[in-house]
Amino acid sequence: MARPRKFDERQVLDAARERFWSGGYAATRMEDIAEATGLGKGSLYGAFGGKQALFHRVFDDYCGSVVEAVSRQLCGNDEDAYARLSAHVYAVAAATAADTAHRGCLLAKGAAELAEHDETVAGRARAAIEALQALLESDIAACQRNGDIAADTDPGRLAALVLAVLRGIEALGKAGASEETLTDIARTALAVLPRPAH
Amino acid sequence: MARPRKFDERQVLDAARERFWSGGYAATRMEDIAEATGLGKGSLYGAFGGKQALFHRVFDDYCGSVVEAVSRQLCGNDEDAYARLSAHVYAVAAATAADTAHRGCLLAKGAAELAEHDETVAGRARAAIEALQALLESDIAACQRNGDIAADTDPGRLAALVLAVLRGIEALGKAGASEETLTDIARTALAVLPRPAH
DNA sequence: TCAGTTCTTGACTGGTCCGTCCATAACGCT
DNA sequence: AGCGTTATGGACGGACCAGTCAAGAACTGA
């Protein structure tokens, strides 16, 4: 009936994410995104509404995909729960160190720039953080059931601590800490988690 | 000989910091700062050179004052080293929770927005982080000498971990974590630090 | 009091950027 | 093929903003 879209929405969102991620919200121009995708500005506005709406869409997608990725890394049986936790913590350190451009995480960057004045961004960031904490808590509880972590500590508190360490690794990576430092932090954090008495 | 300045440089820097802190670099207009201080734009440019130069100045001052404040909190004799460490960790959690506007720390916010594209900001942030780590390490070493923390763990690594936790507390606070959560993280972090065997 | 220097102010410039608009293109249905 | 509908793309409007400039103000030393 009507003229079909020539572009793939997914690709446009990916390109937009790339731009917002490296430049930040304020410093990214809609024209940058238009050029990056080959679209005209009219199409961009027609499809997504405007700069803020586009960012919200990108931010939502990003938060969702982060939570989903962590969920895949942390869900499983009790026997491997500690191995999954350990792998996840090291993976965050490695990924942060590998991010030589020091862009950090879009979740952190977007929240830092906009959360104070944009309730939508703030709410979405809060929800993502809570989801991550819940995933960690459930994995840590599994570790406790399997005897890999002392059962006398509240798993929620340990999860909050681990989450803080992970976000801290991000932050230090952005400030230029070396891969060695970040890996050391990951190792030390895992090492200080309370082990059950034998 | 010449006409003296009517304004206090310190007050202008404070006002500028306030604006950059809540709005971010890109979203703050030089005119905002001019209005906040009652100065004309010409005076601002005459005294500080430009927007970027002014931000660098503000950022430098902020980093310096943070390091200095932490230094005051953490330096002292070995007997009180653990008490100082503990007080500092709780203080960061409390300060983050008290920051209801969720602006976080200008060091983190400025680095998040600009470090990728501004080598001066990146370098200054890195230097500040290293200074904070050194302060923590020296206090933790004092704790070890005094028998409050197990001496068989490298103080540098513990310091890096504590620093990551502190930065993580900041990040979670910005994402909307409750005061209770933040205080719990502080408590748990202190609790998991290795104690010497009796 | 006058000269010389530095500070102040706000209007102005040149450029940037968000968002709109419109002429045109592509498609399916009848 | 003709028509209605939706997508495209680029030019345009209007607002905003960093930085400049020129005219005048404030001060000191002679």
Lookup: nucleotide whose C1' is closest to A26 CA: C17
Selecting from A117, A160, A165 the residue whose C-beta is nearest the C-beta of B184 gives A160
In this structure, is residue A50 part of a structural domain?
no
- The mean per-residue pLDDT over the stretch B118-136 comes to 96
Question: A95 is written with which tokens?
Answer: 């990924």
Residue A36 CA to residue A2 CA, distance in Å, equals 26
Q: For residue B41, count other CB atoms closer than 10 A to its CB.
A: 13
Specify the pTM.
0.93
Closest chain B residue to A100, measured at CA: B116
| Structure confidence at residue A176 as a pLDDT band (50, 70, 90) | confident
In this structure, is residue B153 part of a structural domain?
yes
**Range list of H helices, A38-178:** 41-48, 51-74, 81-98, 106-114, 119-145, 155-174
* pLDDT computed for residue B98 by the predictor: 95
Which amino acid residue lies closest to nucleotide C22, measuring CA to C1'? A42
| Structure confidence at residue A108 as a pLDDT band (50, 70, 90) | very high
CA distances from A184 to A181, A189, B147, B192 (A): 5, 8, 23, 16
Amino acid at site A116: E
Closest chain B residue to A158, measured at CA: B188
Domain count, chain B: 1
- Chain B: closest CA distance from residue A144 (Å): 16
Residue B77, domain extent: 56-192
Residue A197 predicted with pLDDT over 90: no
* pLDDT computed for residue B97 by the predictor: 96
* pLDDT computed for residue B197 by the predictor: 84
For residue A184, give every residue at least 6 positions away whose Cβ sits within 8 Å of its Cβ, in sequence order, or none. Answer: B157, B160
- The mean per-residue pLDDT over the stretch B169-188 comes to 94
Residue B130 CA to residue B136 CA, distance in Å, equals 10
**Pick from A155, A148, A131, A4: nearest CA to A69:** A131
Q: pLDDT tens, B41-81?
A: 999 999 999 999 999 999 999 999 999 999 999 999 999 99
In this structure, is residue A17 part of a structural domain?
no
Question: B31 is written with which tokens?
Answer: 């005119």
- Chain A: closest CA distance from residue B1 (Å): 44
| Residue the block writes with tokens 């820097």 | B13
In this structure, is residue A19 part of a structural domain?
no
Q: Report which of residues 35-64 in chain A place their beta carbon less than 7 angstroms from any atom of strand D.
A: 38-43, 46-47
In this structure, is residue A166 part of a structural domain?
yes
| Residue the block writes with tokens 């300045």 | B5
B172, A164: Cβ pair inside 8 Å? yes
Selecting from A109, A116, A172 the residue whose C-beta is nearest the C-beta of B22 gives A116
Q: pLDDT tens, A34-73?
A: 999 999 999 999 999 999 999 999 999 999 999 999 999 9
In this structure, is residue B27 part of a structural domain?
no
Mean pLDDT of chain B, nearest integer: 95
In this structure, is residue B60 part of a structural domain?
yes
Judge whether residue A30 contacts strand D, using its CB and a 7 Å cut-off. no
In this structure, is residue A28 part of a structural domain?
no
Selecting from B26, B102, B115 the residue whose C-beta is nearest the C-beta of A26 gives B26
Residue B52 CA, nucleotide D24 C1', distance (Å): 29
* pLDDT computed for residue A1 by the predictor: 76
- The mean per-residue pLDDT over the stretch B170-186 comes to 94
* pLDDT computed for residue A198 by the predictor: 73
Rounded to 10 degrees, what is the CA torsion of A140, A146, A152, A158?
-10
Letter string b/e over residues A70-84, b meaning 16 or more CB atoms within 10 A of that residue's CB: beebbeeeeeebbeb
